[in-house]
Amino acid sequence: MRLYLGADHAGYQLKETLKAYLLDEGHDVVDVGAVSEDSVDYPHFAARVGRAVARGDGERGILVCGTGVGMAISANKVRGVRAANVTTAEFARLARAHNNANVVTLAGRYTSADDAKEIVDAFLGTEFEGARHSRRIDAIQQLEDEER
């Protein structure tokens, strides 16, 4: 799968860990930065990943900051992005199955490498269930259109 991956300084270490893991799993990974633990502003990285996913350049996006919250707020400003801030594999599974999330955001300061790998596996390995959930995703899109 072609994936876009981004982080700020607080998510840098976990991003690097996930990048190695995902490459090892055979994914095509585009790393948009950050490139170190020097302080940077997370919205810029959320924009790069969110826009790439919304354009269809990548199938899914993964963003890491300290809590994942700032990344989720920022990525969700991009039309077509459904970013979910997730702390368990079960929430990642549900974010895909029910919400058709195309971006997952992680808490670099609070999520272990092993938990993050499980979360990402669930996020990448779960299909959207459609059916009644499609109606709700359509309603999200309508809301987005109304707010233009």
3 — phi, psi (to 5°)?
-120, 145
Tokens 């997952």, residue located: 104
**Would you say 69 or 139 has its CB closer to ligand RB5?**
69
- Exactly one of 9, 44, 98, 133 is catalytic; name it: 98
**Would you say 50 or 70 has its CB closer to ligand RB5?**
70
Nearest-approach distance from CB 129 to ligand RB5, in angstroms: 29
List own/partner pairs for 20-24 with CB under 8 A and 24 or more apart: 21/117, 21/120, 22/120
Nearest-approach distance from CB 67 to ligand RB5, in angstroms: 4
Decide if 133 is catalytic. no
Residue 127: exposure state from Cβ atoms within 10 A (0-12, 13-18, ≥19): exposed
Decide if 27 is catalytic. no
**Would you say 50 or 100 has its CB closer to ligand RB5?**
50
Closest CA to 102 of 77, 121, 128: 128
Nearest-approach distance from CB 72 to ligand RB5, in angstroms: 8
How many helices, marked H, and strands, marked E, lie in the chain? 6, 5
Binding stretches for ligand RB5 (CB under 6 A): 8, 10, 42, 65-67, 69-70
Residues tagged active-site: 65, 98
